[in-house]
Amino acid sequence: MNKRYTLWLRWVAANALSELIGLGATFAAIGLLVSRIDTSKISGIFLAFLLTVLSGAIEATLVSLSQWWAMHPWFQGIQRFVWWRATLIGALLGYVLGYLPSTLMSMGDSTAQAAQAEPPQWITLLLAAALGLVAGAVLSFAQWLALRKSVQRSGLWIPANMLAWAFGMPVIFFGIDLAFKMPAVWQSVLFVAAALLAAGLVVGAIHGSFLVTLAGEREKAAA
């Protein structure tokens, strides 16, 4: 089997499984923690926001370690701790940006008590794609700093993640929306798990293709 194709397969599998387990565990932790907080007060909303952001460390840790395992044979100059730290920084910043708008809206609702109409699904998915573009840039910036020291054309990594998450984020939103409509809890859990796995596959397949290109550049430089 071609070595670059092997890298791509390892990368896609690592991202799919780590997003399924890592993001699933993160959502579970957020649900358990936030459910114990009184979010009718601004202090409670802020605490829920803080715990939600910190819970992102679960996903970041599992994803970063899985990614490092997948890429290490081709990028031996990148240390595991460096990749974990870069992924953690990007993930926490991404969670801050991702949850800050809804947190501010919740704070406004707690004082104004205004009802918010839910937008049509196509608008939600379009906004999810836009969120993915921004989140992809934030998530990958610190990783790019780790890559650029030993990889030529490492700047590709940022647009690669933007593109990947622009497709991956709507998959997550769509799956969660369907999960809330299921009549049984086990069906909701199954739909969320399927959405997380599918998003991991989509995201990994897209930025994994860019990673293969970077591996090729690295091989040329070493030749």
| DSSP state string for 139-179 | HHHHHHHHHTTT-TTGGGHHHHHHHHHHHHHHHHHHHHHHH
pLDDT tens-digit readout, 123-180? 999 999 999 999 999 999 999 999 998 888 899 999 999 999 999 999 999 999 999 8
**What is the signed CA dihedral for 156, 122, 105, 88, rounded to 10 degrees?**
-30
Residue range 204-208: mean pLDDT, rounded: 97
Q: CB within 8 A of 91, min separation 6: which ones?
A: 56, 57, 59, 60, 63, 139
Is the model's pTM score more than 0.75? yes
